Amino acid sequence: MKVKGYITGSGCISPQNTTEKDYFFENVNGPEVDFFKAIEPSYKEHINSNLLRRMGRAIKMGVSAARIAMTEAGIENVDAIISGTGLGCFEDTEKFLLAIINNDETLLTPTSFIQSTHNTVGSQVALIMKCHGYNYTYAHRGFSFDTCVMDALMNLEEGKNNILIGGIEEHTPNYVEIFRKGKKLNDNNSNKYFEGKTSGIQLGEGTTFFVLSNEKKNAVAAIDGVAFLYKPQSAKEVADKANSFLKTHNISLENIDLVLFGFSGDKEFDKYLLEMLPSTSKNSATAQFKHLSGEYYTANAFAIWTANKIIENQKIPDVIRINSVSKSNINLILIVNGFQGINYSFTLITKC
């Protein structure tokens, strides 16, 4: 891609205090045992009560985060809205589904059905903004948000000016319990995922929106590009992909100031990423982020939010650090994310 997407606005609702002004990981929250629940803002600030009454958590989070991003970008409307979510609006989905099961297909109400569709957040944001532009929703596991990034960059290259992109995910108590019963959650209390000693993940949730623009304006960082790797068969494939991706941007791993890894805490899922750690640790600072966000389909959006803040502050928070390589200037950040060992993505964020 020849263009970059300048991050002119961002809004993040997460298990951390990311909605606080100027928050930079001064204090961090751990999971409630094995689940990172999102800290939700006062929605009345962002959404009028007539719309609010119908919305499930995912939609409330999505619309609010989108508003925060738009406010920061100082714009009223955008050319395109692109959202990513693995499960869609699961709270409403579950509500409708359990009503079908418990009432044997009777006395069903339409609200939870219509709010359950994957593209509800994107369309609600469009409705509120009266945005008639391009509106897509991607729902592909660990690639859900990454495809939004790719599509946004394509849209910018095609001549659009401002694109709103968002990664959304919510979990219900039932969903978390099912995960727990299936023994997929980790309550090990060790968040040093980079040590590769733990099994199971810590589930998280959250919503992060960005405004990507074709002009720098007040942006401190830009997304230069994203690459995908599906079901690699070896750690070498992952490393090779990282290198070839950077090569297309005329740089190599040595130029990267910070490699931000999406270790999930499950050593089996993380095995190829763990193998990348030694080679990246020589020249670059290394860090991890899912011990703050939890693992979920669109966690990469949280990583990009974090990278943007790091470039803004020109500091790597101790709480995410893996190695102690110090960098006086943080210009290039490579996010290397993996999801369940099947969906890998590489995102390049640069100081602008």
- Give the binding site for another protein (CB under 8 A): 1, 49-50, 53-54, 81, 86-88, 94, 96-98, 100-102, 104-105, 107-111, 113-120, 122-124, 126-127, 129-141, 143-144, 147, 151, 154, 157-158, 174-175, 177-179, 181-182, 228, 230-231, 297, 342
- The CB-of-68 to another protein minimum distance in angstroms stands at 20
By CB neighbour count within 10 A (0-12 exposed, 13-18 middle, 19+ buried), where does 235 fall?
Answer: middle
Distances (CA, A) of 67 to 37, 72, 128: 21, 9, 10
- The CB-of-171 to another protein minimum distance in angstroms stands at 11
Closer to another protein by Cβ: residue 23 or 179: 179
- The CB-of-163 to another protein minimum distance in angstroms stands at 13
- The CB-of-306 to another protein minimum distance in angstroms stands at 24
Closer to another protein by Cβ: residue 29 or 103: 103
Closer to another protein by Cβ: residue 129 or 253: 129
Residue 2 to residue 19: CA distance in whole angstroms: 32
Closer to another protein by Cβ: residue 188 or 248: 248
Closer to another protein by Cβ: residue 109 or 190: 109
Close Cβ partners of 27 (under 8 Å, ≥ 6 residues apart): 17
Distances (CA, A) of 50 to 54, 63, 256, 320: 8, 14, 48, 40
Close Cβ partners of 52 (under 8 Å, ≥ 6 residues apart): 43, 44, 60
- The CB-of-294 to another protein minimum distance in angstroms stands at 17
Closer to another protein by Cβ: residue 41 or 333: 41
- Provide the residue type at 254 as one letter: E
Give which of 256, 249, 253 is closest to 238, Cα–Cα: 253
Residue 121 to residue 155: CA distance in whole angstroms: 20
- The CB-of-216 to another protein minimum distance in angstroms stands at 23
Of the chain, the end-to-end C-alpha distance in Å amounts to 17
